[in-house]
């Protein structure tokens, strides 16, 4: 039943809704107490605390407690929280048996297999639409999903590479246990330190694409399995969390320091985006990249010297060929250098990102649940004027 012409014309006559810019650039769509990014200052925080400072001197469990329970923990609280969450790392009954089939259908480290597995795991722990359960139960599920995602990710990787799965250990910290489940060996202090810095730096970052996605899905009342699957889907895109491995592909393609300038110049002049550079909000150095650069130097990664040369060359060329866009290295540029030096394979970079960002997604979803209104924006229709006359071959009511 098509709308009568006068109804369509009159609705168009009412005040025009606000038309947001493409990508919702510089548009605030909600209020939050979880995190924020002050792009001009090169600063971001978790619930008001400088996130880089927390990453420099804290443990992953400190940031996790802050994000999901609302406050930095005392040492006693952190130890208790670590004990509680370490016990949640085991997969729910029935999920482990499904992983070999899922792993066979995708490559090692694929976020597609992780999002499939975690969606099933969420059902196995009883996730229901949050509207049909208490907020306490939703928070408990949020903590359990955050705890089992590394186990799922590591076991899928081992299966996809023809290795026996490694069960989580409750006596290792979050980062050490993650490395242990992937490599099968207890990691050294330096590798653990490096991965823990990376995980803490990437827990959340304002209303980034995947965090916003998690809130949009949660706003419909959907269960946490739906939320986490959608958020991982958003993260997998090359313009978001799919970038770190592509930075390595770029470094490999450049190959040698003297090829950096011609290769990068050609790429920018041909409209390609350099992986690991640019950011919607940071128009100065990404502070996460700065700390990861320091960690890469401390690890004496053999790649760091070459990466530094590529960064310097790229920033200069972007300033020359894209003047005024203020394009610098973002978190992804040194992420791969650090994770590779810590013993993680390239195909695991994005999945590792998901294992930290899940804490940010869950913190945002719990906030959305506490004060929800379903996201349902408009879109400006720019197609042929409605209502249109039906073509002669297609008349309403024709048999």
Active site residues: 279, 332
* Residue 287 within binding range of ligand COZ, rule CB under 6 A: no
| One residue of 37, 111, 125, 243 binding ligand COZ per CB under 6 A | 243
Question: How many Cα atoms are found within 13 Å in the side-chain-facing hemisphere of 17?
Answer: 10
Q: Could you please report the per-residue DSSP string of 191-252?
A: HHHHHHHHHHHTS--SS-HHHHHHHHHHTTT--HHHHHHHHHHHHTSTTTTTHHHHHHHHHH
What's the CA gap between 247 and 307, in Å, rounded?
A: 10
For residues 117 and 335, which CB has a smaller minimum distance to ligand COZ in the complex?
A: 335
Sign of CA dihedral 26, 250, 287, 115: positive
Strand (E) or helix (H) holding 67 = helix 60-69
Question: How many Cα atoms are found within 13 Å in the side-chain-facing hemisphere of 59?
Answer: 16
Phi-psi region of 74 (alpha: psi -120 to 50; beta: other; left: phi over 0): beta
| One residue of 56, 69, 128, 273 binding ligand COZ per CB under 6 A | 273
For residues 39 and 221, which CB has a smaller minimum distance to ligand COZ in the complex?
A: 39
Distances (CA, A) of 334 to 53, 311, 323, 325, 329: 18, 10, 24, 21, 8
Q: Which two tokens stand for residue 202?
A: 């990437």
The count of residues interacting with ligand COZ (CB under 6 A) is 19
Tokens 């960064």, residue located: 311
Query: Residue 62, SS3?
Result: helix
Distances (CA, A) of 249 to 252, 346, 391: 5, 10, 51
Least Å from the CB of residue 193 to ligand COZ: 23
For residues 79 and 320, which CB has a smaller minimum distance to ligand COZ in the complex?
A: 320
The stretch among 121-129, 172-180, 269-277, 294-302 that binds ligand COZ (CB under 6 A) is 269-277
For residues 169 and 280, which CB has a smaller minimum distance to ligand COZ in the complex?
A: 280
* Residue 254 within binding range of ligand COZ, rule CB under 6 A: no
| One residue of 178, 248, 277, 334 binding ligand COZ per CB under 6 A | 277
Q: Which residue's C-beta sits nearest to ligand COZ? A: 278
Which residues neighbour 173 within 8 Å (Cβ) at sequence distance 6 or greater? 59, 60, 61, 82, 192, 196
Residues 302-361 close enough to bind ligand COZ by CB under 6 A: 318, 322, 325, 327, 330-332
Least Å from the CB of residue 146 to ligand COZ: 21
Least Å from the CB of residue 199 to ligand COZ: 16
Per-residue x/- marks for ligand COZ, 200-239, CB under 6 A?
---------------------------------------x
Least Å from the CB of residue 47 to ligand COZ: 21
The stretch among 120-128, 257-265, 276-284, 383-391 that binds ligand COZ (CB under 6 A) is 276-284
* Number of helices followed by number of strands (H, E) in the chain: 17, 3
For residues 192 and 213, which CB has a smaller minimum distance to ligand COZ in the complex?
A: 213
Least Å from the CB of residue 15 to ligand COZ: 29
For residues 154 and 268, which CB has a smaller minimum distance to ligand COZ in the complex?
A: 268
* Residue 23 within binding range of ligand COZ, rule CB under 6 A: yes
| One residue of 150, 276, 343, 360 binding ligand COZ per CB under 6 A | 276
| One residue of 56, 69, 128, 280 binding ligand COZ per CB under 6 A | 280
For residues 25 and 392, which CB has a smaller minimum distance to ligand COZ in the complex?
A: 25
Least Å from the CB of residue 234 to ligand COZ: 12
Least Å from the CB of residue 274 to ligand COZ: 4
Radius of gyration, alpha carbons of the chain: 23
For residues 185 and 320, which CB has a smaller minimum distance to ligand COZ in the complex?
A: 320
What's the CA gap between 158 and 154, in Å, rounded?
A: 6
Contact 131, 105 (CB under 8 A): no
For residue 167, count CB atoms less than 10 angstroms from its CB and return exposed for 0-12, middle for 13-18, buried for 19 or more. middle
Q: Which two tokens stand for residue 183?
A: 């490599």
| One residue of 63, 275, 304, 307 binding ligand COZ per CB under 6 A | 275
Residues lying near ligand COZ in the complex (CB under 6 A): 23, 239, 243, 268, 273-280, 318, 322, 325, 327, 330-332
């Amino acid at each position: 039943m098509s709308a009568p012409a006068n109804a369509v014309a009159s609705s168009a006559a009412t005040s025009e809704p606000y038309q947001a810019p493409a990508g919702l650039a510089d548009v605030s769509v909600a209020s939050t107490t979880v995190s924020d990014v002050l792009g001009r200052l090169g600063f971001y925080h978790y619930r008001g605390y400088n996130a880089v400072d927390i990453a420099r001197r804290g443990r992953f469990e400190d940031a996790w407690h802050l994000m999901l329970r609302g406050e930095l923990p005392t040492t006693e609280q952190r130890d208790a929280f670590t004990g509680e969450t370490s016990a949640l790392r085991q997969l729910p009954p029935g999920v482990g048996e499904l992983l070999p089939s899922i792993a066979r259908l995708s490559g090692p480290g694929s976020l597609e297999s992780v999002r499939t597995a975690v969606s099933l795991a969420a059902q196995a722990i009883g996730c229901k639409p949050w509207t049909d359960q208490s907020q306490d139960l939703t928070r408990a599920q949020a903590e359990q999903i955050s705890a089992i995602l590394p186990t799922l990710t590591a076991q899928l990787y081992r299966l996809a590479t023809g290795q026996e799965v490694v069960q989580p250990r409750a006596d290792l910290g979050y980062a050490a246990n993650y490395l242990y489940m992937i490599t099968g060996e207890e990691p050294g202090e330096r590798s653990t330190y490096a991965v823990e810095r990376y995980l803490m730096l990437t827990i959340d970052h304002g209303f980034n694409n995947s965090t916003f996605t998690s809130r949009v899905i949660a706003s419909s009342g959907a269960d946490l399995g739906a939320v986490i699957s959608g958020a991982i889907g958003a993260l997998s895109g090359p313009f978001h969390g799919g970038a770190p491995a592509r930075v390595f592909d770029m470094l490999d393609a450049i190959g040698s320091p003297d090829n950096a300038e011609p290769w990068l110049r050609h790429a920018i002049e041909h409209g390609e985006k350099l992986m690991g550079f640019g950011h919607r909000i940071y128009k100065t150095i990404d502070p996460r990249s700065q700390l990861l650069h320091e960690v890469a130097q401390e690890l004496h990664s053999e790649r760091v010297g070459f990466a530094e040369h590529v960064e310097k060359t790229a920033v200069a060329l972007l300033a020359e060929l894209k003047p005024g866009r203020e394009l610098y290295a973002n978190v992804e540029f040194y992420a791969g250098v650090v994770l590779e030096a810590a013993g993680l394979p390239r195909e695991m970079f994005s999945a590792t990102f998901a294992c930290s960002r899940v804490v940010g997604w869950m913190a945002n979803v719990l906030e959305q649940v506490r004060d929800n209104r379903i996201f349902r924006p408009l879109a400006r229709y720019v197609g042929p004027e409605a209502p249109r006359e039906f073509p002669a071959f297609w008349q309403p009511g024709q048999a």
